[in-house]
């Protein structure tokens, strides 16, 4: 591992010279797929490469081959456990495949997402996984679709992680079904008057979950009045805030609150605790996602478990599979009842 003392990295050229073979032979020995190289030469090349500490320049490879070894992952917020779990699965599997993972963060801003995808084209990524939430905005969807199609035209695979909405392979998360099941489970446990804390209505995920929850309630002839739906950011602080607004309005006619995701639920629980509201004694609460923290808050949070790391794996699988570009893999959640929603008299 004798690095070139000089500033310049050893190139394939150096390796070839060192090994006394041609550039082509060196290339074939080091990276060529179908081995058609004399073992003696091959060994000499490998040895020379080792000695020089040679590592192929990926950029050069990309441009020579016309295809990169990059996987681009787009998430809303990497500090959010929902996305970091997915990212964890994606990056791990990508490494397995020899793909370098790049990451883009949209901060839940549709415009930004578009910008990111646009610059992504410059990377000529082999795979793009868009895990950020979809927005309810036909215009932006249209543009995003065009950008993603452009990437696909360049040979990149595009996989969406979200509800099915854009014409690409997608790992669909059954938000509606999960929320519906949760509603059924809660009614089953004796709850009757609900409130909801939700993200801004332009987020499809928030919408779908709320709609699913309502559908579940409807099956029991219950409904969730608009005035009991508190909209805020799709974050812990958003939940904290929405919880506060709910308290201001008054909770006399509420026995259970559904937060459309766990981080909001957790934020709301903290707010309720601060305001002296007994959870679950006075008010039960449930979330969605089953992030790690759900087990660790007190009371432990009832939620809908989503196999998040598996979602990442599924996305990669889809990206490497032969599909017509419109394949859908649905991941369903499973209701996990914990102490935050005890059986109710």
Binding site for its own copies (CB under 8 A): 1, 3-4, 7-9, 53, 55-60, 62-63, 68, 77-79, 81, 84-85, 87-88, 91-92, 95, 100-105, 118-119, 121-124, 146, 149-150, 153-155, 236, 266-267, 269-270, 273, 292-293, 295-298, 300, 309
Distance CA 99, CA 124 (A): 13
Q: Does 41 bind DNA (CB under 7 A)?
A: yes
Q: Which partner in DNA, its own copies, none is near 28 (CB below 5 to 8 A by kind)?
A: DNA
Q: How far from 5 is each of 1, 2, 9, 49, 226, CA to CA, in Å?
A: 11, 8, 9, 15, 70
Q: Are 242 and 231 in contact (CB under 8 A)?
A: yes
Q: How far from 337 is each of 82, 182, 249, CA to CA, in Å?
A: 19, 9, 27
Task: In angstroms, give the least distance from the CB of 19 to DNA.
Answer: 9
Nearer to DNA, 22 or 107 (CB): 22
Q: Does 321 bind DNA (CB under 7 A)?
A: no
Q: Which partner in DNA, its own copies, none is near 201 (CB below 5 to 8 A by kind)?
A: none
For residue 298, give every residue at least 6 positions away whose Cβ sits within 8 Å of its Cβ, in sequence order, or none: 339
Stretch (H or E) spanning 269:
helix 262-274
DSSP assignment, residue 78?
T
Task: In angstroms, give the least distance from the CB of 84 to its own copies.
Answer: 4
Stretch that binds DNA, among 61-69, 162-170, 216-224, 317-325 (CB under 7 A): 61-69
For residue 190, give every residue at least 6 positions away whose Cβ sits within 8 Å of its Cβ, in sequence order, or none: 343, 344, 345
Q: Site for DNA (CB under 7 A): which residue of 17, 46, 51, 56? A: 56
End-to-end CA distance of the chain: give it in Å, rounded.
72
Task: In angstroms, give the least distance from the CB of 122 to its own copies.
Answer: 4
Q: Site for DNA (CB under 7 A): which residue of 18, 21, 144, 233? A: 21
Q: Are 290 and 271 in contact (CB under 8 A)?
A: no
Q: Site for DNA (CB under 7 A): which residue of 1, 5, 8, 138? A: 8
- Kind of pairing, strands 157-162 and 256-259? unpaired
Q: Which partner in its own copies, DNA, none is near 11 (CB below 5 to 8 A by kind)?
A: DNA
For residue 120, give every residue at least 6 positions away whose Cβ sits within 8 Å of its Cβ, in sequence order, or none: 72, 74, 104, 128, 151
Q: Are 339 and 333 in contact (CB under 8 A)?
A: no
Distance CA 70, CA 94 (A): 9
Q: Does 153 bind DNA (CB under 7 A)?
A: no
For residue 40, give every residue at least 6 positions away whose Cβ sits within 8 Å of its Cβ, in sequence order, or none: none
Q: Does 306 bind DNA (CB under 7 A)?
A: no
Q: Site for DNA (CB under 7 A): which residue of 4, 22, 119, 330? A: 22
317: how many CB neighbours lie within 10 A of its CB? 15
Task: In angstroms, give the least distance from the CB of 163 to its own copies.
Answer: 23
Task: In angstroms, give the least distance from the CB of 18 to its own copies.
Answer: 17
Q: Does 69 bind DNA (CB under 7 A)?
A: no
Task: In angstroms, give the least distance from the CB of 133 to DNA.
Answer: 32
Task: In angstroms, give the least distance from the CB of 61 to its own copies.
Answer: 8
Task: In angstroms, give the least distance from the CB of 96 to DNA.
Answer: 20
Q: Which partner in DNA, its own copies, none is near 78 (CB below 5 to 8 A by kind)?
A: its own copies
Write out the residues near DNA by the rule CB under 7 A. 8-9, 11-13, 21-25, 27-28, 30-32, 36-38, 40-42, 54, 56-57, 60-61, 63-66
């Amino acid at each position: 591992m004798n690095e070139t003392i000089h500033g310049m990295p050893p190139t394939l050229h150096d390796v070839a010279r060192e090994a006394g073979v041609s550039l082509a032979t060196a290339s074939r020995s080091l990276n060529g797929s179908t081995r058609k190289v004399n073992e003696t030469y091959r060994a000499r090349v490998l040895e020379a490469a080792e000695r020089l500490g040679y590592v192929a320049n990926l950029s050069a490879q990309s441009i020579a081959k016309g295809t990169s070894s990059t996987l681009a992952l787009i998430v809303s917020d990497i500090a959010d456990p929902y996305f970091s779990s997915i990212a964890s699965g994606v990056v791990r599997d990508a490494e397995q495949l020899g793909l370098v993972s790049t990451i883009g963060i949209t901060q839940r801003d549709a415009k930004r997402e578009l910008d990111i995808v646009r610059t992504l084209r410059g990377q000529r990524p082999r795979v793009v996984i868009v895990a950020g939430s979809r927005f309810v905005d036909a215009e932006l969807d249209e543009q995003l679709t065009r950008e993603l199609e452009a990437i696909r035209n360049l040979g990149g695979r595009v996989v969406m992680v979200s509800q099915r909405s854009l014409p690409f392979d997608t790992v669909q998360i059954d938000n509606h079904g999960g929320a519906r099941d949760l509603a059924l489970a809660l009614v089953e446990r004796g709850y009757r008057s609900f409130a909801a804390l939700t993200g801004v209505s332009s987020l499809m995920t928030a919408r779908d979950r709320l709609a699913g929850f309502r559908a579940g309630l409807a099956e029991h002839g219950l409904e969730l009045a608009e005035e009991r739906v508190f909209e805020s950011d799709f974050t812990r602080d958003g939940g904290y805030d929405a919880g506060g607004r709910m308290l201001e309005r008054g909770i006399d006619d509420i026995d259970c609150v559904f937060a459309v995701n766990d981080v909001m639920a957790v934020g709301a629980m903290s707010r309720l605790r601060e305001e002296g509201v007994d959870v679950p004694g006075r008010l039960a609460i449930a979330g969605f996602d089953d992030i790690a923290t759900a087990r660790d808050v007190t009371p432990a949070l009832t939620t809908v478990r989503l196999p998040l790391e598996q979602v990442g794996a599924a996305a990669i699988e889809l990206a490497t599979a032969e599909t017509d570009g419109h394949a859908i893999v649905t991941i369903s959640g499973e209701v996990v009842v914990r102490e935050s929603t005890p059986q109710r008299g």
